Amino acid sequence: MRARFWFLAALAGVVSAGVLLAVAELFALLVARDGSPVLAVGSFVIDIVPRWAKEFAIEVFGANDKLFLLASIGLAVVVAAALAGVLQLWRRPLGDVLLVLAGALAVAAIVTRAAATPLAWLPTVLGTAAGVVVLELLVRRLARWRADARGAAAATPGDPSASDAPRASGPASAPDSSCASVDRRGFFVLTAAAALGAAVVGVGSRVVAVATSSIDGIREALKLPSPRSTVTVPEGAEFDIEGLSSLYTSNADFYRVDTALTVPEIDPATWSLRVTGMVDEEITLTFQQLIDLGLDEYSVTLTCVSNEVGGGLVGSAKWLGVPVRTVLEKAGVQQGADMVLSTSIDGFTASTPLTSLTDEGIDAIFAVAMNGEPLPFEHGFPVRMVVPGLYGYVSATKWVVELKVTTFADDEAYWTPRGYSAEAPIKFSSRIDTPRVDKQVPAGPTKIAGMAWAQTVGIERVEVSIDNGEWQPATLSAPVNEDTWVQWFVDWEATTGTHYLAVRAVNKAGELQVQERAPIAPDGSTGWQSTLVTVV
């Protein structure tokens, strides 16, 4: 009997929280799209979870790590909402207080986001008000129903639950059971209506928000001028070997790494880039002004610091872009600066050594196109940075909106306090693509093949060792440039049994790839990849 009321109170709490979120989503759709508390809180949590938890989630859930995060937040919300209902029945207005507290935390997460619009707080405030009203209405009915029921029970001697019951209004000697049934019906009708309303409004608002975002059309209609120069891919730059990665990674297959829970949607018409900090003159460039500086094509292989030996967080593209140097020159870099802090619209930052952006020999660019089309949204539309030779987290800022010329002593980027180095040149590496551990190789002539990269320096040689035998040189593809990976292969007469394959590279500076294993943190993995293959 009593347990039932607590359960219903928890239900009332969950329904009230549902109303809170639904109303917030509705007003987010109407007045401030970035005011969705669900997304803001999710992004906030992403930023505060410690590295080990992030790595654990990625390890266990792989690409579903963000889904896992959303599910965890969802569960936490349900538990907290149920608690609010129970508290409200126990001591009014404790439940209201909990809802308001949750709303306040969500508002804090929303307004502290880097790109928060002026009215972003409003949807959550309105949602919280609606949630409190619904909680009040539901739990009041529930409390009256309980009081009536206790009154009725008190009249029935021998019911232990009646002993501590407060007096219900009305004479106990004449328990009004019709009162209880009115409140009971009222509670269930209101609960069902609120739950249904919340589901329809909440889901509807999100669906409409996604469907009416016109940004897809804008990207599709975007016409970029043809580049002044294009990349020449030499004869022999690509082998036709089954299982070997292609020289250029298609946009669909390109790895994606970022902290963004939802991909920012930026209209190039409203995008601008500010150059601030230690400059002679702060400048702001519009998208048109940027591309008017002249587009050229660049071939660059990107690499993530999280790429394990033999891993896939590396890919190549032909980018259209403008040198970062050209933009910095317009602002005039002052003496003493040694770092450029680039900021994404979602608050992510990267610290890039100034010289990596200003050296004539390094093709650091603001990229606007990737493999022949405007940047895909996930890869930074409309503008991102690409800096050959540096891991993505210290250079490749997507959705970039600001460059601050500064010093490593004065400023820190997103990943620096999270266990990664402030500076991180790519450690050159080589990878076996085929044969793979999980595929059986038929005995007979075959090819061992893979990729190798040493951005800004170039790959001189790749060597393969079979069953710990002598290192034999692989045949290299003709390099497009020093910033782009190369393919390699060796012919192999595969004999039945299990074989041990290993690969290593030598760069054009004459250095041998580091053999010693290092983890990805703090500044990138090292080690020679080796693999066991089964020949049948």
Ligand X SMILES: Nc1nc2c(c(=O)[nH]1)N[C@H]1C(S)=C(S)[C@@H](COP(=O)(O)O)O[C@H]1N2
* 44 sits near ligand X (criterion: CB under 6 A): no
Nearest to 86 by CA among 6, 22, 1, 141: 6
Residues 279, 329: Cα–Cα separation, whole Å: 9
Q: Does 285 bind Mo ion (CB under 5 A)?
A: no
Q: Does 393 bind Mo ion (CB under 5 A)?
A: yes
Of positions 24, 304, 350, 394, contacts Mo ion by CB under 5 A: 304
CA–CA separation, 484 and 319 (whole Å): 12
What are the distances in angstroms from CA 140 to CA 144, 165, 183?
6, 17, 9
379 binds ligand X (CB under 6 A): yes
Helix, strand, or coil (residue 231):
coil
Among 72, 246, 259, 276, binds ligand X (CB under 6 A): 259
Minimum distance, C-beta of residue 392 to ligand X, in the bound complex (Å): 2
Nearest distance from residue 111's CB to ligand X, in Å? 20
Q: Could you tell me if 351 and 392 are in contact, meaning their C-beta atoms sit under 8 angstroms apart?
A: no
115: number of Cβ within 10 Å: 15
Count Cβ atoms within 10 A of the Cβ of residue 335 and give its class: 0-12 exposed, 13-18 middle, 19 or more buried.
Answer: exposed
Which residue is it, tokens 């669900």? 38
Regarding 425 and contact with Mo ion (CB under 5 A), the answer is no
What x/- string results for residues 120 through 159 when contact with ligand X is judged by CB under 6 A?
Answer: ----------------------------------------
Q: Which is nearer to ligand X, 251 or 289 (CB)?
A: 251
Rounded to a whole number of angstroms, the minimum distance from the CB of residue 356 to ligand X is 15
Give the span between the Cα atoms of 329 and 346, in whole angstroms. 26
Question: Which residues, 6 or more positions from 234, have their beta carbon under 8 angstroms from its beta carbon?
Answer: 478, 479, 480
Among 256, 274, 325, 330, binds ligand X (CB under 6 A): 256
Residue in 137, 237, 241, 257 binding Mo ion, rule: CB under 5 A:
257
Strand bridging mode 272-277 / 283-286: antiparallel
393 makes contact with ligand X (CB under 6 A): yes
Give, rounded to a whole angstrom, the gap between the first and last alpha carbons of the chain: 69
Among 392, 458, 479, 527, binds Mo ion (CB under 5 A): 392
Phi, psi of 111 (to 5 degrees): -75, -20
Q: CB nearest Mo ion: which residue?
A: 304
Residue 391: CB minimum distance to ligand X, A: 6
Site string for ligand X, 297-336 (x = CB under 6 A): -----x-x--------------------------------
Site of interaction with ligand X (CB under 6 A): 254-260, 302, 304, 344, 346, 348, 379, 392-393, 396-399
Site of interaction with Mo ion (CB under 5 A): 257, 304-305, 392-393
